[in-house]
Amino acid sequence: MASKERKLGRRATALIWLLVVAVVIGTLIYLEQIAILYVLATISLVALLLIVAFADLENVGRENIEAFIANE
């Protein structure tokens, strides 16, 4: 029999990441490490802005989105 690997879907992966981030933020708030939270928030915002800045949004059209959705 072929071995079937069980993979998590995108939604499950996103929920796991959300849970991990929530636990880390909650722990830092509980331990009153607000300075670390400021640094993490700043780094996260810079990363998000870099992703948006380098995204090739010019070549994204309705046809590309529909083809992407159809392939899922």
55 assigned to some structural domain: yes
CA 10 from centroid of its chain's CA atoms: 10
Domain count within the chain: 1
Output the tens digit of pLDDT for each of the chain's 72 residues: 455 667 888 899 999 999 999 999 999 999 999 999 999 999 999 999 999 988 877 766 666 666 667 766
* Domain with 65 in it: 10-71
43 assigned to some structural domain: yes
> What pLDDT does residue 56 have?
74
Cβ atoms 25, 37 nearer than 8 A: yes
> What pLDDT does residue 63 have?
67
**Measured distance CA(28)–CA(39) in Å, rounded:** 12
1 assigned to some structural domain: no
The whole-model pTM stands at 0.60
